Structure 1
Amino acid sequence: MPIKSKYSNQQIETILSEVGAIFQKHKAAPDLMLMIAGNIATNVVNQHVAESQRKKIAEQFAQALLASVEEKKD
Structure 2
Amino acid sequence: MPQQSRYSNQEFEAAMQDIFDSLEKNNANRDLSLMVLGNVVSNIFVQQVPEGNREAMLNQFCDVLKRAVKGN
TM over 0.5: yes
Q: What are the equivalent positions in structure 2 for 1:26-45 lying under 5 Å apart?
A: 26-45=26-45
Matched to 2:36, the amino acid is I
Q: Using the alignment, how far apart are the partners of 2:4 and 2:71 within structure 1?
A: 22
Query: What is the SS of the residue equivalent to 2:14?
Result: helix
Unaligned runs of 5+ in 2: none
1:3-44 Cα offsets, whole Å, 9 max, x none, are 321111100110111111111111000111111111111101
Percent identity among equivalent residues? Answer: 33
Aligned length: 70
Change (3 A) 1:63 1:8: same
Which of the two has higher C-alpha Rg? 1
Matched, 1:65 2:38: no
Runs of 4+ in structure 1 over 2 Å off: none
Q: Using the alignment, how far apart are the partners of 1:71 and 1:7 within structure 2?
A: 22
With normalisation by structure 2, the TM-score equals 0.89
